[in-house]
Amino acid sequence: MTEEPERPVRPRTQGRVLFLVIFAAGIGGTFQFGYNLSIINAPTLHIQKFTNETWQARTGKPLPDHMVLLLWSLIVSLFPMGGLFGALLAGPMAIKLGRKKSLLVNNIFVVAAALLFGFSHKAGSFEMIMLGRLLMGVSAGVSMNVQPMYLGESAPSELRGAVAMTSAIFTALGIVMGQVVGLRELMGGPQVWSLLLASCLVPGVLQLVSLPLLPESPRYLLIDCGDTEACLAALQLLRGTQDVAEEMEEMEEERAACQGRQARRPWELFQDRGLRRQMTSLVVLGSAMELCGNDSVYAYASSVFREAGVPEEKIQYAIIGTGSCELFATFVSCVVIERVGRKVLLVGGYSLMTCWASIFTAALCLKSSFPWMPYLAMSCVFAFILSFGIGPGEWV
């Protein structure tokens, strides 16, 4: 009986499966985050008008302008607040449910939010929009933490860095797509703004359809579940070859090193002197990214352009330019990051953002004194977003 020859490595199969993993995780992950970050911009005036009309129908009195602005600011702010709750949920979910199942279960928040958005106008409730934004924030917080974990554990070591960067690309792509869909000619009109907000259901459905066909993280299957056979099958599917003995050996060593250890809580990580520097770096970089104000620039870009004198019908196209700037800068960063290094891009990006933010603040304060100041403020918006895409957007 002749011995069956060993199957050759199939890089095309590996590339195809890995691409599908990246797409399925990204479309319902950081793409969803970028998409929901930008679609709130187009219906700004419609939501403010709806809030005022709803309040007047209930009380018989219109809301003062400052209260309308306050409620609108609350709608915008509930998204990152939900992101905080989602980030706290991500760790326990990833351990108990697994990486892939966590991403799938996370779409419960998306479906609930889409229903709230879709029926908010008919129900005459701006509170439904607030709750929907909070739920979408929770979904974004979970996916932004679990997605890089799932991709990093599924990719081969030589591609791990490049695969991790796809999270930033999907974020920028989601921002641009949300801006395009929000065009007045598409879904940015006064009659369909609730459907625009509910369109977040589409990326969620795409993930629900595609992700179950793909394998779970091999590392999770072996180290957290102890399922060697499932890990081997997932690894062979991801690599497109039967010869995965070397990677299995590495994971077995990691599994042996982790035996008897339990998942640590955040405060326990800070108590470990060996991890203190890494944790400090993560906290500083993560805090800087969240507090740098890039998300706020997107949320209030239309107001800045309006103050600059951009015609109302042209503002939507100017907003698309902001998302395109970040997408372009992200691709450029992916090309040069290996040559320049992350540290240089981070320091350079934040330095430029500080510069543009200072000029932007001065321009807003002096906009009534000089007629050209609003145009300077508008230029700073584009420069600020470009600087963010160059480095801070790639900090992972």
Under 8 Å between Cβ of 396 and 168: yes
- Do the Cβ atoms of 254 and 263 come closer than 8 Å? no
The residue assigned the tokens 């974004």 is 140
pTM of the full predicted structure? Answer: 0.85
- Write down the domain spans for the chain: 20-211, 215-257, 275-396
State how far the Cα of 61 lies from the Cα of 86, in Å rounded to an integer. 37
**Cβ distance 308 to 360 under 8 Å?**
no
* Alpha-carbon torsion angle 261, 265, 267, 270, nearest 10: 40
Contact (CB, 8 A) for 145 and 25: no
Q: Which two tokens stand for residue 281?
A: 């770096």
Query: What sections of the chain are H helices per DSSP?
Result: 11-27, 30-39, 44-59, 65-96, 99-105, 107-123, 126-154, 160-181, 193-198, 201-210, 218-219, 228-239, 245-258, 266-271, 276-291, 294-299, 301-307, 312-340, 342-365, 373-390
Please give the Cα distance from 99 to 214 (Å, whole number): 12
Do the two domains 20-211 and 275-396 of this chain adopt the same fold?
yes
d(CA 32, CA 37): 8
Q: Which two tokens stand for residue 30?
A: 């950081």
- Which residue type is seen at 370? F
- Count Cβ atoms below 10 Å from residue 365 Cβ, excluding itself: 11
Q: What are phi and psi of 5, to 5 degrees?
A: -65, 150
Q: What are phi and psi of 192, to 5 degrees?
A: -120, 15
CA 62, 65, 66, 69 dihedral sign is: positive
pLDDT number for residue 14: 60
d(CA 43, CA 39): 8
Q: How confident is the model at residue 391, as a pLDDT?
A: 77
Looking at residue 394, what is its pLDDT? 66
Burial of residue 190 (number of CB atoms within 10 Å: 0-12, 13-18, 19+): exposed
Residue 5: the pLDDT is 47
Residue type at position 156: P
- Reading the chain (396 residues) residue by residue, the pLDDT tens digits are 444 444 444 555 567 899 999 999 999 999 999 999 889 888 888 999 999 999 999 999 999 999 999 999 999 889 989 999 999 999 899 999 999 999 999 999 999 999 999 999 999 999 999 999 999 999 999 999 999 999 999 998 888 877 888 888 999 999 999 999 988 888 888 889 999 999 999 999 999 999 999 999 999 999 888 899 999 999 999 988 888 888 898 888 888 877 766 666 767 777 777 777 888 888 888 888 878 878 777 767 777 788 777 887 888 888 888 889 888 888 888 777 767 877 888 889 999 999 998 998 898 888 888 888 888 988 888 999 889 888 787 655
Q: What is the model's pLDDT at position 319?
A: 84
Query: Is residue 322 within 8 Å of 380, Cβ to Cβ?
Result: no
The span from the CA of 394 to the CA of 199, in Å, is 27
What integer pLDDT is reported at residue 232 of this predicted model?
92
Give the fold, CATH level 3, of 275-396.
Answer: Growth Hormone; Chain: A; (1.20.1250)
Q: What is the pLDDT of residue 299?
A: 66
Q: How is domain 20-211 classified at the architecture level of CATH?
A: Up-down Bundle (1.20)
